[in-house]
Structure 1
Amino acid sequence: MNSAEKGVLPITRAQSSDPAEITWDGPDDPENPLNWPTSRKIPITLLVSLAQLICISTASVVAPALPQIASDLGLGELESQISFSIFILGQAFGPFVIGPLSEVFGRKPLWVGCTAFYILWNSLCPVGKSKPILIVGRLLSGAGASCGVILSGPIVADMYHVKDRGKSLALAGLFPYLGPALGPIIGGLASQHLSWPWLFWVMSISAAVVVLAGVIYLRETYAPMILHKKAIRLHGKSTRSSAQDHLWPKIRVSLQRPLRLLIFRPVIQLLALALAVDFGIYILVLSFFARVFTDQYNQDTTASSLHYIAIGLGTTIAAQAGGQAMDILYGYLKRRQPEGHAPTPEFRVPLLLIGFLMGPIGLFWLGWSAQARVAWIMVDIGAAIFTIGSFVGSQAILAYLLDEFGGHAASASAAVRMLSNVFGFAFPLCAPQLFDGLGYGWGNSVLAFVWIGVLFPVPVLLWFGGAQIRALGKRES
């Protein structure tokens, strides 16, 4: 059990002039987010979840309108694909600033500020119908939008005990896991009736409403920041001066933390590679999915975009059933743990294995169903199976990180997600050549073989050697 679970988190001398520790007023202190009533926790969780849905949907909402955007802006095929994927590239680098700064200034200021940054640049994307503005705007709006992805997990972890990790992540994933499916559906329907600039502005308006609600209702959840404010109340201006003297060194250390974790911690490198391949293949599937139904089944844009419902169904099942399964497996393994032994992050590995087994099954099913032009529902079933596997795997990785890195989970998540977003940007660029050259059957089979070769060893390594891998590089990072 870590210090947050015990309800005692010390404030360093950089935060308090009092040499004594500033702690909670006992294990039932109402200021401790772990003790907040459910009536407060659930609305906060749903609020950050809804904001994340809007930001994630922005990545894919333009997919059905890409031909129209390319025509208006004179984009070639590669440029068109870059304008779609570069939003995800922005999400690779935003977390390196957002994650560590949330451990200095708290979750709420970063969440509000970065979401507002996303709104600004997303709104500018279609202005003047300019190719450079569109690409720069997508890149920077992606960086701002990454706050939802990088902070939702830590915000939820701040409020819920480890034993409820699955339940809390299922609640946090209620909305955002629908984003990749809702984006193309909304984009497909809207592009039939609105000009494409409105795809960006509708998302910005929606995000602005949620941010306004967050300014009013969202409370700070990061325990060290809450205790820091408590120290200020107790010790007054001297504490403020001490904190200010140490602020810039603290920011420098925090900003270096994700990179140091990525360089020195093999467990971060292993999880980063696993999540990168998982996410890269998922985004690649997302980018060509509608094309399957226009190429193989001669469906129009609106009809083909509705098939993303299958992906939405898969993400919903992954979030809810995966969350429940996570807590059940955790409880089972904890009961089997010898007396006096604490639970470990490896309790998340069985769920990781389930997800990684389902991923290639879905890819084979999806690809060969499309290749043979069997009933379109078979393609949708394959996509749903693949999506469940992909998201259950990423859900288990996030839980593993939260368990292992505790108060620095945002920095650890930033380190892990950097590579995944780079892959998410690069993989879709290969989609036209892959499927034009190999067809949907062998094209998806290649993806499945890559998945098997890279991801299958990860749960084995973590289950049998997780403690040793986690111990490597701790002192250097």
Structure 2
Amino acid sequence: MSVDDVEKSVEDGQLTPTGEHGLEKNDGKPLKTASDGTILVPQPSDDPEEPLNWSWRKKHMAMIVLAFGTFFVKFTATIIAPGAHQLAEEFGTSPRRATYIASAASVVPAVAPFLWVPLSNRLGRRPILLVGNLMAIAFAIVVARANVYGQALACRILMAFGASVGICIGPGAISDMFFLHEKGKRMGINSFLLVCAPYLGGVAGGSIIYNNDLGWRWSMYISAILYAILVVAHFFFVPETLYHRSSFGAPKPPPPTTFVGKFCKFMGFHPPANPHNHTWLYTFTRPFAMFAYPAVVLPSLWFSIAGMTEVANTAGFPLNFGPGTRYNFNTREIGFCSFSGFIGAVAGEFFAGPLCDFVAKRGLRRQEAGGEKWRPEKMLHVLWSGVITVSAGLLLYGLELNYPSMGTRSWAPALAGILIFTFGQEILVTVIMTYMTDCYPQRAAEVSIVFQFWLNIMAYHPPFYVPQWIHSGGGAKVPYIVFAVLPIVIFPFGIGVFMWRGPQIRAKGRIVDWKKE
């Protein structure tokens, strides 16, 4: 199968199940390679406007802005989290209920992509990114001015809905611009910012809210300012990344004459071609098709279980370390607890992204030399270190909250557990996202929908019951032992099965088609 055949089958909705990308020579024409001889996957056209052919500077400026769009979603969610006690006093509620203003919005990125991604497929990634971020600005300001608990909670959810464009469209746009051997490190940067965002948000929020001249309301005003900066950066540095090969060589459209047409040209909006005349109904139902592909659903579900405590951990810092606990931290010190997660994410990214690129380059070079063909499953062996450290970190955190090993006021061992957990989480998210987008490169945005759906659904519910579970008779050790064991128990069904029979499973295509084949 040639590269063109693979890409045509993907565009027609018939996903290539092999993950081999059709790397054979096509009618004697040599494949394009990078300067170091690595085969370019996917093979680019000769059109300089294709995102794969953009300059290094243009690609990486866009990638940085897109990655910060992902970062701000969770950064602005937890920037308000350390102020649980201040929010409780402001709205006349309990600290536990006040944490919901930060944690309840965590479910939104699970559902928002079902609107944003189809719209981006029909209207383009660029306009939808701008609209979503403008929505985030507006509702951040409303939250900052809220006078009742219900208003603050509802507008935080709507703010997260707009902001979610970054977390679901960003990975797809990054995938549009980079080749297979480059994706690991670039996806790793995006994943790094995704993982460290809630922890840096906690650090920043603790200091902002602790300052009497600022307080919790300014945490939301600052969020609005950050999104305003992001909108400007999107406008200048993120062109439209969706590209259809069929448009190469076609005559250029005439200059627009209407006001709307001129405005769209000025804004850089280029609605993608619709060569198959797909209806809007097809466009909005297309993302659901990815839920039928085992190589997307099972790894996403497994990772969501492995990382499901993320929101409970950050939202729980005020309850586990704040006033009235053995640590008795103030708001700023509660925020500093999040440094542990940030350090873990930094360490994990130094390991995960470069190693993914190394595995991909080595596999492609071996194939070019006549060795075994590249399979995306080769990437999954990088996961072992992440599996071990995620479980070890959760176990250490829970046991230290229960049985402090260095005295009742020693916080270091417990937060070391969060550091180790986040180190493993960063490895897992980088490898799994790289693997899934390698399996279905032309459906990266839809793959991201499935991943974010399970991740945010599973992260949503622990904050509602983990505090009560910790304060039950068994203490913190019981929930965290359960959370530490679950990823190991489920690993054979979510990941191990693809290490064993991945190509054969993907060759069967969608789950609903198995009985027919």
Task: Please give the secondary structure, in 2, of the residue aligned with 1:439.
Answer: coil
Say yes or no: does 1:180 pair with 2:210.
no
Say yes or no: does 1:420 pair with 2:455.
yes
Separation (CA, whole Å) in 2 of partners of 1:229 and 1:211: 30
Residue 472 of structure 1 and its aligned partner are, at CA, apart by 3.7
Say yes or no: does 1:444 pair with 2:480.
yes
Where do residues 238-387 of structure 1 align in structure 2 (5 Å cutoff)?
A: 249-262=278-291, 264-294=292-322, 295-335=325-365, 339=370, 342-373=373-404, 374=406, 375-387=410-422
Q: Is 1:356–1:456's contact at 8 Å kept on the other side of the alignment?
A: no
Which region of structure 1 is more displaced relative to structure 2, 411-420 or 365-374?
Answer: 365-374
Amino acid at match of 2:353: G
Segments of 4+ moved more than 6 angstroms: 4-12, 240-247
Give the 3 Å change call, closer, same or farther, for CA 203–171 of structure 1 in structure 2. same
Q: Is 2:380–2:499's contact at 8 Å kept on the other side of the alignment?
A: yes
Task: Please give the secondary structure, in 2, of the residue aligned with 1:339.
Answer: coil
Amino acid at match of 1:122: A
Partner of 2:174: 156
Q: How many residues in Structure 1 have an aligned counterpart in Structure 2?
A: 461
Give the 3 Å change call, closer, same or farther, for CA 10–245 of structure 1 in structure 2. closer
Q: Is 2:83–2:331's contact at 8 Å kept on the other side of the alignment?
A: no
Say yes or no: does 1:463 pair with 2:494.
no
Amino acid at match of 1:105: L
Separation (CA, whole Å) in 1 of partners of 2:343 and 2:47: 40
Separation (CA, whole Å) in 2 of partners of 1:110 and 1:462: 35
Higher helix share: 1
Q: Is 2:187–2:433's contact at 8 Å kept on the other side of the alignment?
A: no
Task: Please give the secondary structure, in 2, of the residue aligned with 1:223.
Answer: coil
Separation (CA, whole Å) in 1 of partners of 2:505 and 2:468: 38
Residue 82 of structure 1 and its aligned partner are, at CA, apart by 2.9
Partner of 1:392: 427
Give the 3 Å change call, closer, same or farther, for CA 165–114 of structure 1 in structure 2. same
Partner of 2:222: 202
Separation (CA, whole Å) in 2 of partners of 1:320 and 1:313: 11
Give the 3 Å change call, closer, same or farther, for CA 105–232 of structure 1 in structure 2. farther
Residue 34 of structure 1 and its aligned partner are, at CA, apart by 1.4
Amino acid at match of 1:220: E
Where do residues 36-75 of structure 1 align in structure 2 (5 Å cutoff)?
A: 36-75=54-93
* Percent identity of paired positions between Structure 1 and Structure 2: 23
Amino acid at match of 2:340: A
Separation (CA, whole Å) in 2 of partners of 1:203 and 1:2: 47
Q: Is 1:266–1:472's contact at 8 Å kept on the other side of the alignment?
A: no
Give the 3 Å change call, closer, same or farther, for CA 134–445 of structure 1 in structure 2. same
Q: Is 1:165–1:327's contact at 8 Å kept on the other side of the alignment?
A: yes
Give the 3 Å change call, closer, same or farther, for CA 4–151 of structure 1 in structure 2. farther
Q: Is 1:317–1:388's contact at 8 Å kept on the other side of the alignment?
A: yes
**TM-score computed with the length of structure 2 as normaliser:** 0.80
Q: What do residues 2-51 of structure 1 show as CA deviations (whole Å, max 9, x unaligned)?
A: 85899999999xxxxxxxxxxx9974432121122211111111112223
Partner of 2:263: none
Task: Please give the secondary structure, in 2, of the residue aligned with 1:298.
Answer: coil
Say yes or no: does 1:116 pair with 2:134.
yes
Residue 200 of structure 1 and its aligned partner are, at CA, apart by 0.9
Partner of 1:140: 158
Task: Please give the secondary structure, in 2, of the residue aligned with 1:129.
Answer: coil
Q: What do residues 192-241 of structure 1 show as CA deviations (whole Å, max 9, x unaligned)?
A: 121322111110111101211211221111222x865974616899xx99
Q: Is 1:9–1:223's contact at 8 Å kept on the other side of the alignment?
A: no
Separation (CA, whole Å) in 1 of partners of 2:48 and 2:346: 33
Amino acid at match of 2:339: I
Separation (CA, whole Å) in 2 of partners of 1:279 and 1:39: 34
Which region of structure 1 is more displaced relative to structure 2, 31-40 or 295-304?
Answer: 295-304
Partner of 1:233: 252
Partner of 1:18: none
Partner of 2:468: 433
Partner of 2:187: 169
Q: Is 1:92–1:143's contact at 8 Å kept on the other side of the alignment?
A: no
Which region of structure 1 is more displaced relative to structure 2, 381-390 or 76-85?
Answer: 76-85
Q: Is 2:393–2:417's contact at 8 Å kept on the other side of the alignment?
A: yes
Q: Is 2:143–2:220's contact at 8 Å kept on the other side of the alignment?
A: yes
Separation (CA, whole Å) in 2 of partners of 1:207 and 1:5: 41
Q: Is 1:171–1:320's contact at 8 Å kept on the other side of the alignment?
A: no
Separation (CA, whole Å) in 1 of partners of 2:11 and 2:454: 33
Partner of 1:216: 236
Task: Please give the secondary structure, in 1, of the residue aligned with 2:476.
Answer: helix
Unaligned runs of 5+ in 1: 13-23
Separation (CA, whole Å) in 2 of partners of 1:26 and 1:352: 30
Q: What do residues 383-403 of structure 1 show as CA deviations (whole Å, max 9, x unaligned)?
A: 111111112112212112211
Amino acid at match of 1:416: F
Q: Is 1:11–1:228's contact at 8 Å kept on the other side of the alignment?
A: no
Separation (CA, whole Å) in 2 of partners of 1:436 and 1:25: 57
Give the 3 Å change call, closer, same or farther, for CA 11–89 of structure 1 in structure 2. closer
Q: What do residues 284-309 of structure 1 show as CA deviations (whole Å, max 9, x unaligned)?
A: 22222354333233332212321211
Q: Is 1:61–1:185's contact at 8 Å kept on the other side of the alignment?
A: yes
Which region of structure 1 is more displaced relative to structure 2, 111-120 or 125-134?
Answer: 125-134
